[in-house]
């Protein structure tokens, strides 16, 4: 089967789960290409990729003529009725057609079009699939399920299937299009289990590690403030935060003013992230809803830490409680620094037996629900479902 994956940016450092999924599908014989709006911040792409940005005017015009010639009915419908053209919410339909047309030829060579994220990428997949007469589907992750509900419902209704990365996201998709409940499937993202797995138990006195973009929704300000209150409970342990983002200077100032034993490493390659995670005694990530409504779904970093067998400290932000149960860690209310501090104390005071039980439970969940071969096999099953 020939698959076209549609993304806003590719490859993206913060979306290693996409790369894991593509690699696992390729291992099972799928032929995969990618269409993206622009390059991301990740390493070199592992598969052929076509970008929307950077195409010259003559190429766009020629591609648009080819799209019209191949499927005039679909193009006419899109030009007269379609409300969502790239860029996000674009209403200039002829300009949208010109921007999207160079990717249409790639879509015609595919058997199925699949997008990651329910917003612009899903809009693009729907448009490309219609002009190429192909089925499409998309994966919804978190905040994308809170997007414009009319557009979300249109994407769900037209899709061959929709994948939700958590139970909460599945509920959001069904609420947008209740009549499509049967086509919404919950399936976790793919994480590199082998990279994060360790044959030995995590050291009880190692650092607490956290991983994520330094943005408001990750709640790093709450985590740092809570860590600074632990005092003797933390001992000589260090809180290590891996990642970069617009709040780095703000967080550095907070660390300095609190005198907290916290280190910001900046961005690191995935192999170095895994190496640091394997030396940790626990993992903490405390998401919350940002002031602009941005929010996490089910962070891949938590699942990766579970693959390493670490006890988890997180929050009850929707999407997380179904993953982080009392068998694998401790939850606090989003934004509650007192509750986060209490959860950290519990994680730091675990006995050897409790840590061993959590390690076993965490690794089992990560292996059985998020290992790339299993995720890819289930995706292939979905790709082969009869079209609606």
Question: Each residue of 207-239: b (16+ CB within 10 Å) or e?
Answer: bbbbbbbbbbbbbbbbbbbbbbbbeeebeebbb
Stretch among 15-19, 67-71, 179-183, 188-192 having the lowest mean pLDDT? 67-71
Which CATH code fits 193-369? 3.40.50.2000
For position 385, what pLDDT does the model report?
81
CB 103 within 8 A of CB 37: no
CB 324 within 8 A of CB 353: no
Domains 2-190+372-383 and 193-369 in one fold: yes
Residue 2 reports pLDDT greater than 90 = yes
Work out the mean pLDDT of the chain and round it to a whole number. 93
- The percent of the chain in helix, strand and coil, each rounded to the nearest 5, is 50, 15, 35
Residue 240 reports pLDDT greater than 60 = yes
For position 89, what pLDDT does the model report?
54
CB 99 within 8 A of CB 86: yes
Domain 2-190+372-383 has CATH 3.90.1150.10: no
pLDDT-derived band of residue 87, with 50, 70 and 90 as boundaries? Answer: low
Distance CA 244, CA 359 (A): 28
Write the DSSP symbol of residue 313: E
Distances (CA, A) of 192 to 10, 17, 179, 189: 18, 8, 35, 10
Residues recorded for the chain: 388
Residue 86 reports pLDDT greater than 90 = no
pLDDT (average), residues 141-157: 94
Q: Would you state the structure tokens that stand for residue 170, as one six-digit string?
A: 């599945």
CA 374, chain centre distance (Å): 17
pLDDT-derived band of residue 201, with 50, 70 and 90 as boundaries? Answer: confident
Residue 324 reports pLDDT greater than 90 = yes
User: Sign (positive/negative) of CA torsion 343, 212, 264, 195?
Assistant: positive
Distance CA 303, CA 367 (A): 10
CB 358 within 8 A of CB 329: yes
pLDDT (average), residues 56-77: 87
User: pTM of the entire structure?
Assistant: 0.91
pLDDT-derived band of residue 44, with 50, 70 and 90 as boundaries? Answer: confident
Domain boundaries defined on the chain: 2-190+372-383, 193-369
């Amino acid at each position: 089967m020939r698959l076209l994956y549609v993304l806003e940016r590719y490859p993206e450092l913060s979306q290693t789960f996409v790369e894991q999924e593509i690699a696992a599908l390729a291992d099972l014989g799928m032929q995969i290409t990618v269409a993206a709006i622009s390059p991301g911040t990740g390493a070199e792409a592992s598969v052929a990729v076509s970008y929307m940005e950077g195409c010259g005017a003559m190429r766009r015009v020629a591609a648009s003529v080819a799209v019209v010639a191949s499927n005039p009915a679909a193009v006419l419908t899109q030009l007269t009725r379609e409300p969502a053209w790239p860029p996000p919410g674009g209403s200039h339909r002829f300009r949208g057609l010109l921007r999207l047309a160079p990717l249409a030829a790639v879509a015609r060579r595919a058997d199925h079009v699949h997008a990651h994220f329910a917003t612009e990428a899903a809009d693009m997949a729907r448009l490309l699939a219609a002009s190429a007469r192909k089925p499409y589907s998309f994966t919804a992750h978190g905040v994308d399920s809170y997007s414009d509900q009319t557009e979300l419902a249109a994407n769900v209704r037209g899709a061959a299937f929709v994948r939700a990365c958590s139970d909460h996201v599945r509920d959001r998709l069904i609420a947008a299009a209740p009549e499509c409940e049967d086509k919404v499937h919950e399936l976790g993202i793919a994480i590199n289990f082998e990279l994060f797995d360790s044959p030995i138990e995590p050291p009880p006195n190692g650092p607490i590690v956290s991983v994520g973009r330094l943005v408001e929704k990750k709640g790093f300000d709450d985590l740092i403030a809570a860590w600074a209150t632990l005092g003797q409970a933390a001992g000589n342990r260090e809180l290590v935060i891996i990642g970069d983002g617009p709040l780095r200077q703000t967080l550095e100032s907070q660390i300095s003013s609190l005198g907290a034993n916290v280190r910001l490493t900046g961005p690191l390659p995935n192999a170095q992230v895994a190496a640091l995670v394997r030396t940790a005694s626990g993992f903490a990530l405390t998401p919350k809803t940002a002031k602009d409504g941005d929010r996490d779904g089910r962070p891949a970093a938590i699942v990766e830490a579970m693959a390493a067998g670490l006890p988890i400290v997180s929050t009850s932000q929707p999407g997380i409680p179904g993953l982080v149960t009392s068998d694998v860690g401790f939850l606090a209310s989003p934004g509650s620094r007192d509750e986060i501090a209490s959860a950290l104390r519990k994680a730091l005071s675990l006995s050897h037996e409790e840590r061993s039980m959590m390690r076993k439970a965490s690794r089992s969940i990560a292996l059985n629900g998020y290992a790339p071969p299993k995720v890819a096999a289930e995706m292939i099953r979905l790709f082969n479902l009869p079209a609606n």
